[in-house]
Amino acid sequence: MIKKASDLEVFQLSYKLAMDIFLMIRSFSKEEKYSLTDQITRSSRSITVNIAEGWGRRVYENEFKKHLVYAMGSLEETKVWLKFTKDCTYINTEAYDILIQKSEEVGVKIFKLYDNWKSF
């Protein structure tokens, strides 16, 4: 039974993605600390945070769904930042592909939750 936001599978997957990204960027150069690393950290965390904020407003269907849309926007932003990390050679193609695959899985779960959510 789902009693809190962290019980949602999509919350757990997005949280894991954000942590994987955080651990990855710890090795980036200091010159990227306030640009690329800051941006990708913020966008990846925003996915989970928006899911949680929406959960807190779930009795209002439109509010919950609005936050799921925000989460998807943050997910798409994160995917672009991941592309920058690969193209700037901070990560290799294999690491990029793994993170993109995880991102796609999160996106599918967000859309599924959006399509199936009904408030009563």
Q: What gap in Å lies between CA 24 and CA 103, rounded to an integer?
A: 15
Give the pLDDT confidence of 55-106 residue by residue, as tens digits. 999 988 899 999 999 999 999 999 999 999 999 999 999 999 999 999 999 9
Give me the architecture of the 8-116 domain, per CATH.
Up-down Bundle (1.20)
**Residue 104 three-state SS:** helix
Q: Is 89 left (phi over 0), alpha (psi -120 to 50) or beta?
A: left
Question: Sign of the C-alpha dihedral, residues 73, 92, 101, 30?
Answer: negative
Which of 26-30, 37-41, 79-83, 116-120 is most confident? 79-83
pTM of the model: 0.92
**Spans of all domains in the chain:** 8-116
